[in-house]
Amino acid sequence: MKKIINTDHAPAAVGPYSQGNALGNLVFTSGQLPLNPETMKFPEGGIKEQAAQALENLKAILQAADADLSTVLKVTCYLDDINDFADFNEVYTDFFGTENAPARSCFEVGALPMGALVEIEAIAYRKED
């Protein structure tokens, strides 16, 4: 049976979707915008600050699902501007490292909700007890 994942440590959904779902050992997160969950605003700065916030939101949802960044199998990253790729990778590496990084797709899109510079979603597995 599907389990809805919800946490106050990540922004509430801004549309008709859940923060994430779990089915068996798998966790599927919705795309995470760089919204501060307390203010529902983007952090000051540019792509690096927004990437860090989006990844913190992703991390919070994974933790609520009994998973974490080390159990992520696949990440999809949406960038408003592909020219931000190198700066995005710098922050992404701080969270995932390089040795055991998950599979990933990263591409530019026409626009992101609320004018965000980045949105990130993941598929992970739940830790076994």
Reported as a single tens digit per residue, the pLDDT across 16-72 is 999 999 999 999 999 999 999 999 999 999 999 999 999 999 999 999 999 999 999
Average pLDDT, the chain: 95
| C-alpha span between 28 and 22 (Å, rounded) | 6
Indicate whether 13 pLDDT > 90: no
Indicate whether 15 pLDDT > 90: no
- Which residue is associated with the tokens 């000051």? 44
Q: Tell me which DSSP letter residue 115 carries.
A: G
Is 106 a residue of the active site? yes
Q: Give the CA radius of gyration of the chain.
A: 14
| C-alpha span between 61 and 32 (Å, rounded) | 9
CATH number (domain holding residue 35): 3.30.1330.40
Q: Average pLDDT of 70-76?
A: 98
Q: How many domains are there within the chain? A: 1
The pTM of the full predicted model, rounded to 2 decimals, is: 0.95
Indicate whether 86 pLDDT > 90: yes
User: Of 26, 106, 112, 125, which is the active-site residue?
Assistant: 106
Distance of CA 60 to the CA centre of its chain: 9
Domain that holds residue 57: 2-125
- Structure token pair of residue 115: 């004018």
pLDDT at 60: 98
| C-alpha span between 68 and 127 (Å, rounded) | 8
26 to 62, 68, 87, 107, 115: CA distances (angstroms) = 11, 12, 30, 24, 30
The model's pLDDT over 116-126, given as tens digits with 9 standing for 90+, comes to 999 999 999 99
Indicate whether 129 pLDDT > 60: no
pLDDT at 14: 78
